[in-house]
């Protein structure tokens, strides 16, 4: 959390008080753990290799997620948490563009669309998981007219 707090102070020092901001996630990998800090970004999703469940990593303490970066009026405290991982476990990080994209009836792809794609991934590598999510996304939305950036990153433990 302290690294993000320092980065936020530096960012504000560089750009001043403006209406521009960024969100972000920091992940630090150490042995079988991932340390996770969230600065106003969509929650990451986590799937254990042996499970048919996907978890949104958002602890009961709603104060876990820090505020966006670059706004002087926001709270500057950021907390970290640790996830224990095993071989075959994976996480998905994504921008809000994939969450907010919709089909022709204005139904959003959302967390449910990502989770459904992740559950169906058994032995795929990270690229295969990404292809599954994006394939489901394109089937759901058709040819989406994006109004926001769309980023998806998959990290899978060997």
Q: Each residue of 3-35: pLDDT tens digit? A: 888 887 888 788 776 777 889 999 999 999 999
Its domain, for residue 38, covers 2-156
User: What is the distance between the alpha carbons of residues 65 and 42, in angstroms, rounded to a whole number?
Assistant: 9
In terms of C-beta density within 10 A (0-12 exposed, 13-18 middle, 19 or more buried), how is residue 17 classed?
Answer: exposed
Are 39 and 68 spatial neighbours (Cβ–Cβ below 8 Å)?
A: yes
Tell me the pLDDT tens digit for each residue of 78-118: 889 999 999 999 999 999 999 999 998 999 999 999 999 99
User: Contact at 8 Å (CB) between 78 and 130?
Assistant: no
**pLDDT over 80 at 144, yes or no:** no
Tell me the three-class secondary structure of the chain, residue by residue.
CHHHHHHHHHHHHHHCCCCCCECEEEEEEECCEEEEEEEECCCCEEECCCCCCEEECCCCCHHHCECCECCCCCCCCCCEEEEECCCCCEEEEECHHHHHCECCCCCECHHHHHHHHHHCCCCCCHHHHHHHHHHHHHHHHCCCCCCCCCCEEEEECC
The count of structural domains within the chain is: 1
Note the pLDDT of residue 14: 81
Q: What is the pLDDT of residue 1?
A: 74
The CATH number of the domain where 85 resides is what? 3.60.40.10
Q: What's residue 8's pLDDT? A: 79
């Amino acid at each position: 959390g302290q690294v993000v707090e320092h980065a936020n102070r530096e960012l504000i020092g560089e750009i001043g008080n403006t209406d521009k901001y960024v969100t972000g996630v920091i992940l630090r990998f150490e042995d079988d753990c991932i340390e996770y800090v969230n600065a106003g970004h969509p929650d990451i999703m986590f799937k254990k290799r042996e499970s048919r469940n996907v978890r949104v990593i958002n602890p009961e303490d709603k104060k876990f997620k820090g505020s966006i970066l670059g706004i002087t009026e926001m709270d500057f405290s950021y907390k970290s948490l640790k996830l224990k991982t095993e071989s075959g476990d994976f996480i998905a990080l994504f921008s809000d563009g994939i969450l907010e994209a919709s089909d022709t009836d204005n139904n959003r792809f959302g967390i449910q669309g990502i989770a459904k794609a992740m559950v169906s991934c058994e032995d795929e590598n990270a690229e295969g998981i990404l292809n599954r999510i994006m394939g489901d996304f394109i089937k759901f939305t058709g040819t989406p007219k994006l109004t926001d950036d769309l980023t998806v990153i998959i990290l899978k433990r060997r």
